[in-house]
Amino acid sequence: MSNERVWDKRVDQWHSHVTSAAAFEKVLSSLLEVASPRPGDVCVDLGAGTGFVTMALAPRVSSVLAVDISAAMAESLAGRAAADGLRNVSTEVADLAGFEMPPGSADLIVSNYALHHLPDEGKRDLVRQTARWLRPGGRLVVADMMFGRGASARDRAILLQKVSALAAKGPGGLWRITKNLFRYGLGVGSEHPASPEFWQAALDDAGFAEVGFHPVVAEAGIVNGVKPL
Indicate whether 56 and 87 sit together in one domain.
Answer: yes
Cα→Cα distances 132→102, 111, 152, Å: 8, 16, 32
Indicate whether 142 and 96 sit together in one domain.
Answer: yes
SS3 8: helix
Domain total for the chain? Answer: 2
Determine the pLDDT at residue 170. 63
Q: pTM to 2 decimals?
A: 0.84
Indicate whether 116 and 29 sit together in one domain.
Answer: yes
Indicate whether 160 and 98 sit together in one domain.
Answer: no
Question: Which domain does 219 fall in, by range?
Answer: 3-146+193-226
Indicate whether 103 and 88 sit together in one domain.
Answer: yes
CA–CA gap between residue 75 and residue 90 (Å, rounded): 10
Determine the pLDDT at residue 12. 72
Q: Does any domain span residue 78?
A: yes
Q: Does any domain span residue 188?
A: no
Q: What is the DSSP string of 56-86?
A: HHGGGSSEEEEEES-HHHHHHHHHHHHHTT-
List the CATH number of the domain containing 85: 3.40.50.150
CA–CA gap between residue 51 and residue 68 (Å, rounded): 10
Indicate whether 22 and 88 sit together in one domain.
Answer: yes
Residue 41: in which H helix or E strand, if any?
none
Indicate whether 54 and 163 sit together in one domain.
Answer: no
Beta strands in 36-164 (DSSP E): 42-46, 63-68, 89-93, 106-112, 134-145
Q: How far apart are the first and last CA of the chain?
A: 44
Kindly give the confidence (pLDDT) of every residue in the chain, 229 residues in length, as a single tens digit, with 9 standing for 90 and above.
Answer: 466 666 666 777 777 777 777 888 999 999 999 999 999 999 999 999 999 999 999 999 999 999 999 999 999 999 999 999 999 999 999 999 999 999 999 999 999 999 999 999 999 999 999 999 999 999 999 999 998 766 677 767 766 776 566 556 666 555 454 545 555 554 555 788 999 999 999 999 999 999 999 999 888 999 999 999 9
Cα→Cα distances 38→46, 58, 75, Å: 18, 10, 26
Indicate whether 50 and 158 sit together in one domain.
Answer: no
Q: Does any domain span residue 219?
A: yes
Q: Does any domain span residue 92?
A: yes
Residues 53-104 pLDDT 10s = 999 999 999 999 999 999 999 999 999 999 999 999 999 999 999 999 999 9
Q: Does any domain span residue 124?
A: yes
Q: Does any domain span residue 33?
A: yes
- Residue 149: name the closest of 190, 186, 113, 184 by CA: 184
Write the single-letter amino acid at 224.
N
Indicate whether 69 and 94 sit together in one domain.
Answer: yes
Indicate whether 94 and 164 sit together in one domain.
Answer: no
Q: Does any domain span residue 43?
A: yes
Indicate whether 8 and 47 sit together in one domain.
Answer: yes
Contacts of 125-129 with CB under 8 Å at 24 or more apart are 125/97, 126/46, 126/96, 126/97, 127/202, 127/203, 127/205, 127/206, 127/208, 128/205, 128/206, 129/99, 129/100, 129/101
